[in-house]
Every structure is written in structure tokens, then in C-alpha cells.
Chain A
Amino acid sequence: MTHTFDPAVRDFLTGRIWLRLHTPFPTETIDAHISSKHIKTIPGITSTKARHFCNRCENDNPSRFTTFNCAKCQGPCTYCRHCLKMGRVSSCTELISWNGEPPTYATDHSLAWQGTLTPRQQQASDELTNSTAKGTPHLIYAVCGSGKTEILFQPIHKLLLEGKRVCLAAPRVDVILELEPRLRAAFPQTAIEALYGGAESTTAAPQLILATTHQLYRFRHAFDAIFVDEADAFPYTADETLQRAVRKAAKPSAPIHFVTATPSDKLLADIKRSGQVSTINRRYHGHPLPVPRYSTLWNYTKHIQKGILPKKLITWTTQCLTQQKPFLIFFHTIALMEAAEPLFQQLDTRIHAVHAAHPDRKEHVQALRDHKIPGLLTTTILERGITIPNVQVAVVGAEQLIFNKGALIQIGGRVGRSVHYPTGDFVLFHHGITYAMDAAKNDIIQLNKGEIRI
């Protein structure tokens, strides 16, 4: 084994599991590192008689594999359709990962965040730091707007000072986009990289990685600690391979911490078995969470489809417009929202609708932040992670199944986050009251009373 290698290759590949033919380096460079055993190769798909297994995303669901007659390897070849969008992994594709000594990460990091933590935040932060040191998983169960991100700063800083590698993951790209500038500002000296579908990849050695949980398919035994923000968000809870991806991206002994305002019963049960929980039931500014109010909106689907905006919606929207308060109106389907969009535009032409696949989603949300537009119609994609001062929130069709307890609590959590505007309207327009609506309302009232269920 020779001792010459390219540090750039090492920095890029450490902790990653990558397609051999799709690296930012020339093929000869990669080949040379493979023959000097600095890089090891792994077959893309491991197949036994009983099942196929993707070595990148660890998918083993038979319906997500396709076997065909491959012109390259001249025989039956199986590929994984689960992680296809990251470049196809097939039986004749090779994956590579770094096999040599890992780089030494920097140990001088400054924490530039100037704010102070409330005593409750401080306590949670200390408990989280302790759990990290012990290597046990920890759940921060804190209400929306209690300053969860700030709680993470100290534990992350401590890990970075020890030269450890840290990942802050979230299931949704919106959350990552919101976190990125805050973390860059808090850790100005640290090599930070944000990874999400469509993000530019750099070859520097990032020590702190912000990533959507999907991106963790491409990591393996990389991190000394992973913090999963908004751990209950779709698709993380629904997709078991994402949970495995997070486990795989962490070093075998590294703790995986969770941060959320609405933990599922399963997450609470899992953590109680093996780890610690810190709870915060007050917002950082000390004001209570906004309690939802119900308002009937009978047959709203029919009215909107006929091209008539229900009167109550007109009144509510006009009120926001005249008082110049930004607003978000949640819908349960894209179809209904897009049918309502032109009707809302009759009140103000600048009102837009956004959803997960909307091409201008990022721009519209930014425009709302910059007060360039008065309000947005949205699907549940904006239910979490977004902070807009003085925002007013309405849910159209709160009785729909998609608005479960967690979703409603998160949506209400958008209201009154700013210390300057600690209150705001949170209205559920409905065609009948569901258990989820009552459960969300009761939970919020309980939290405001200082009781927390764990």
C-alpha cells in the first residue's frame, strides 16, 4: 500500500458511499486510489435467491427492483428504483467509499450566536449535551416557537470543538433552507455544507452537514452525532428506508437525537426505552400558543369548484389585507387550492398558491417574507419550519384526514412566533369537527397550562 493520495478525494469520499462513475474526479484518479486500496469498492446490488438489497439506500422491497437484460454486463442485471433519482445503482454498478485514514477535522470553531437561552432552553441544551457525551439518543420535545434550533447550538459547538463530524437532518427541504443561513451565521468558521435535491455539491471537507434525510442515502458511518429536526414530518415516519438511512449515516456508536414539537407515540415510546427526553412547553417569549378557533364553512368544495369564494373566506382575507398582516391559507389538495387561487386573486392579484412541486415555491415564500406579497395559499408543505412575523393562519377544510393532530399543531405553530407579535389568528374553517381537531385544541390548551404528555 502506497501512502500517496489526493487529499481532495479523501475529503470528499470520507463517510460517503458514491457511484464510482459519478465522482467530481477523473476516472484515472479514482482508479489509482482503488489500486492503492485508499478507496474500496462495493457492489451496487447484493442479490441472493430470496431478495435483492441496494447497498446505497438499503432498500429491499422487491417491488422497487427491476431486473432486465443488460447490454453492458451482457446478462440479467437488477437495479434499485428506490434511489434512482440519485443515479442508477445496478448489479453491474460499483459503489465506492474511502478506505484510508479519515481527515482530521478542525477543532477551532466559534459560536457567533449572541442570544441568550431561557432557563428551560438552557436546561434542555445541557441535557442534550450530556446525552451526546454518553452516546444515548435524546428527544427534544418542545412546542412550536420555543427556540429549538438555538437549543442545538451548544451541543453542536461542543462536538465541533472535539473535531467531530455532525449532521443536522430534516425530512423536508424547506426546513433545511430555513436552517442553513442560521447555522452559517452561528458557526462562521466551520466548513458547512447544505445538501438537498438540486443543491450544488462541493469537494471541500464539510464538518457540519445540513441535509434532507434523503441525502443520507449517500452517507455511511460518517457522523459522530445526527440531529433529526422535525422528526415526525412526512416522509420520514412513513418511509422506513429513510430511518435506516439515518442510522447508516451515523457511526455505529453515534447517538441519533430527535427534535420535534409533535412527537409520534412510537417515537416517544422508542426514546423512553433507550434514551432521554427534554420537554419545553413555553415559547421562548413566554406567551401561550395560539388556541385554534372553529368556524363552519359548509360545502366549501362545491362553492369553490363553482367559482364562488365562500363569504367567510372573503371576510377573513380582506381583513388581513386591510390590516396589512401576512397570511397563510392551508388547503388539503392541490386541485382545490388551484381552483381557489384565481378567486383569491380577485381580492389581491399578488396572492399565489404554492405546493411541493411548484416551480416558484422558493421565490414565493421569500416574497412573503420580504412583504412583497400579502399572503400565500399552500398545501401542508409550509406546516413547519417557516417563520414569518405576524402571520395569520387559516385552514380550509380542517376536517380532512391529512390535517391530523400533529399537522394542526404544527400549522398553529406558525402563528405568534415573533416576540413583537406574540399573538395572531389561527382559524380552522371546517365542514364538521373531527377528533383530530379537538385533540389538537386540547393538547394546545394543556401545553399552555404547563402540562406535557410524555
Chain B
Amino acid sequence: MNECLLCQQAIASTPSWQALLGLEKQTNICPDCSKKFQRADNKEESDILDRITSLYSYNEAMREYLHQFKFLQDIRLAEVFADELRTSLIGDAIIVPIPMHPEKKIQRTFAHVDELLTSARIPYMHLLEKLDTVAMGEKSKAQRLAMKPLFAVKKGTTILPSTYILVDDIYTTGTTLCHAATVLKEAGATRVEAITLIRAER
């Protein structure tokens, strides 16, 4: 019997042949908690990004999830959306997580986007580096648009003329993703898409 990662209640499981044969999907959150998340399956595009897919909308349950995952540093919660991320990321494109500034990473003790991908068992490559330590959430839209470049291609890496998929936890105004996509395209990428766990409205 395993416990729900979010509410710590035991997850009731009924014995079944699938479970016995190891075919049943392992759930790590209980049906009650899982019900609170709202699927968005939102698809958008912009001048620079050829497609932005967001899996969930930003509601109270998601706010609490992000708080516990990122601010209370509960790295274990990377597992919660592993299956969903895996399903939407299977393919041949090169997966590039939005990087964290090294100092910020030490502060948090882990890079949350990397952990989401690791839990989903999706191979990824760090092709970008973050130039600034400032968090997006602290800025207004005008400030975000008027910023200097946020990312640069990592030294010693070459960008091929192929498709890249950026991965981030949350897509609000799109500034972060646009900056990252611009850098990749300038370096030679033909197509840049993005997948984010959450779509939030400002």
C-alpha cells in the first residue's frame, strides 16, 4: 500500500490481475488529489516558437503543488506528473530544459525542470545557460519585454538544423521561452517547440 505524495493518505488499491502481473499503472497520488488538477492541453504558437503545448491550467491545487515542489523543495513531487510528461515528450526531437542559474540551483538544491524530466525518464541536453539570477515572477510584463538576453548557447555545443523542444514548468507571458527559442534559432535550429507543465494567465 503506498501513500499519496500530496495528502499522505493511503491510496486504496483493489487487487487485480493487472496489478499481479505488474501491468497496472503505478499511481503516486490519490484520486482525490488528482481530481483537483485541471487538464488544459493548450496549444499556442508565436512568431518565434512554432508550438507551445501546456498540459495543465494554473489553479489552487497547482499553486500548492508548485509551492511544495519549488519553495518547500520537495523534490519527490517531480514524480507526480511523470507519466503525463512522458506521453507528451516521446519523439525524436532534442529536449532542452530551461536552465537555472548555478547559484539559484545550489540555493534550491536541485533544478526543478531537470527533475521533472528525470522522473519522466526523458533524456535531455543542457544546451543553454542562464545569464541572470533574477526570477521571472518578480517582474512586470513591461520589464520582462525590455530585458537583455536571458540565455546563451553553452560554450562548446553546436546547434543542428533540426527540431528542439524546450521544457519549462510554467508558461505565463512567454518571455522565458521566447528568449530561449531566439537563442536556439539564431544558432541554427530550424524548428523550436515548447512544452510546459502549466499554462498560467497573468
Contact = CB atoms under 8 A, between A and B. Distances in A.
Interface of A: 63, 66, 68-73, 77, 79, 81, 84-85, 87-88, 90, 92
B191 to A, nearest CB: 32
B41 interface: no
A87 B72 contact: yes
Contact of A71 (B2, B68, B74, B111): B111
Contact of A88 (B72, B105, B107): B72
Contact of A84 (B3, B74, B106, B108): B74
User: Interface residues of B toward A: which range?
Assistant: 10 to 19
A70 B109 contact: yes
B110 A68 contact: yes
A81 B111 CA distance: 19
B108 to A, nearest CB: 7
Contacts of B110: 68-71
A72 B106 contact: yes
Contacts of B34: none
A87 B74 CA distance: 10
B99 to A, nearest CB: 13
Contact of B75 (A66, A85, A92): A66
Contacts of B43: none
Interface centre among A68, A69, A73 (most CB of B within 10 A): A68
Interface centre among A69, A77, A81 (most CB of B within 10 A): A81
B111 A66 contact: no
A68 B72 CA distance: 15
B76 A71 contact: no
Given A70-B109, A71-B108, A84-B68, 5 more contacts: A72-B109, A79-B73, A81-B76, A85-B68, A92-B109
Contacts of A73: 109
Nearest to B105: A71
B109 to A, nearest CB: 5
Contacts of A79: 73, 75
A63 B5 CA distance: 10
Contact of A77 (B2, B105, B107, B109): B109
A188 to B, nearest CB: 38
B111 to A, nearest CB: 7
Q: Which 7 A-B pairs have the closest CB atoms?
A: A66-B76, A72-B109, A88-B73, A71-B105, A70-B109, A68-B75, A71-B106
Contacts of B3: 63
B74 A81 contact: yes
B106 A88 contact: no
B109 A84 contact: no
Nearest to B78: A68
Interface centre among B72, B73, B106, B109 (most CB of A within 10 A): B109
Interface in B94-115: 105-111
A27 to B, nearest CB: 14
B76 A90 contact: no
A9 B101 CA distance: 34
Contacts of B105: 71
Contacts of A87: 72
A77 B105 CA distance: 15
Contacts of A70: 109-110
A72 B73 CA distance: 12
A171 to B, nearest CB: 16
B14 to A, nearest CB: 18
A87 B72 CA distance: 6
Interface string B63-100: 00000100011111000000000000000000000000
A85 B76 CA distance: 14
27 contacts: A63-B2, A63-B3, A66-B76, A68-B109, A69-B110, A70-B109, A71-B108, A71-B109, A71-B110, A71-B111, A72-B106, A72-B107, A73-B109, A77-B109, A79-B73, A79-B75, A81-B74, A81-B76, A84-B68, A84-B72, A85-B68, A85-B72, A88-B72, A88-B73, A88-B74, A90-B109, A92-B109
